[in-house]
Amino acid sequence: MQADIELLKAFEKGLDPEKPQESAIPARVLGYGEISTIFEIQVESAKGMAFKRMPIFKTQNEVRDYEKLYHDYNAVLEKTIGIKVPPYGFVWFISDRGNIVAFDIQQKLKSESIGNRAIHFMDIDNVRKLFLAVLRDLNKLWDFNGENPQFAVGIDGQISNWSIADFAPSSPQITPDTRLVYIDTSTPLMKENGIERLDPELFLRSAPSFLLWLIRWLFLDSVMTRYYDARLVTIDLIANLYKEQRSDLVPPLVQAANDFFGGEGSTVGIKPLTTKEVNSYYREDAFIWTLFLAMRRFDRWLHKHILHRPYIYILPGHIKR
């Protein structure tokens, strides 16, 4: 997809990262990631597009390397592995503040079609069918990785990263013909000969400077590697249902996962999951991200009131977990 770069420059110039909803150019926040914020820019020329804003790059070489990787990742997912992605594009520029800002661009999809919204329209049988459809798409990736030892693709399989094609909330049925679209391609994880192509330091750019050494030491390696592990991706997928206020789905989907990996997904070769370990995983993960967000808010306060420097990142409000 192609977007008007002058519009994005004007949008960035009029953006208040602390109050993005009060931008000079009307915009609506569609979602938050760890390194990006997703906007709908409410002007005619941007209609039908979602913009993922990433002010994380320090040099032009960094952003150019990322741009190539982003295009490669989308192409490998869809054309090689067979996981559908939305139409996409990429734009970057140097802002009036002097920092590099990049935007991943995707076709805007109906909010009701996104998995974490859709599950609130469905009965448990259709949620289970949706979950199995996600596992089948993920299994394409695990099979690809298994067949290509010199090349590996990582993925964040959370339910909020999938859209249901042609989904109708008034008739929320998942059938064998239902097709999914994977939307979280802004973290393009790919390894060649065991070497990660995505610079891990990019994950740290939005982190408070006083925590960088701790995050590098305790968390960075595990964050970068867990998205290549079929068992951890599945646990994360199920555990995220606690955050989506659907804890009732955890036990039946643990059973559904075990049935899947004991049958049609047996080539992956993972041991059975338990509800207890999914619960434990979520508690630890929720604690880490809650603490991390609190520290980022403190860092924003330091920039504003002590350092008197602009804080270029956008932080979410309260997240119910």
In this structure, are residues 302 and 87 in contact, taking their beta carbons and an 8 Å threshold? no
Residue range 165-213, pLDDT digits in tens: 989 888 889 999 999 999 999 999 999 999 999 988 787 777 777 776 6
54 beta partners = 102
Long-range contact set of residues 206-211: C-beta below 8 Å, sequence gap at least 24? 206/34, 206/35, 206/56, 206/296, 206/313, 207/292, 207/295, 207/296, 208/295, 208/296, 208/298, 208/299, 208/302, 209/299, 210/299, 211/292, 211/295
CB 34 within 8 Å of CB 205: no
Mean pLDDT of 8-24: 88
Of 34-43, 142-151, 240-249, the poorest mean pLDDT is in 34-43
Task: Spell out the domain ranges in the chain.
Answer: 5-107, 111-307
- Is 70 exceeded by the pLDDT of residue 114? yes
Distance CA 251, CA 141 (A): 25
More confident residue, 145 or 312: 145
pLDDT digits (tens, 9 = 90+) for 232-282: 999 999 999 998 999 999 999 999 999 999 999 999 999 999 999 999 988
Q: Is residue 219 very low, low, confident or very high in pLDDT (cuts 50, 70, 90)? A: low
Instruction: Answer for the pair 119, 107: CB distance below 8 angstroms, yes or no.
Output: no
Q: What is the mean pLDDT of the chain?
A: 89
pLDDT at 19: 83
- Say yes or no to pLDDT of 318 above 60: no
**Domain 5-107: CATH superfamily, name plus number:** Phosphorylase Kinase; domain 1 (3.30.200.20)
Q: Is the pLDDT of residue 302 over 90?
A: no
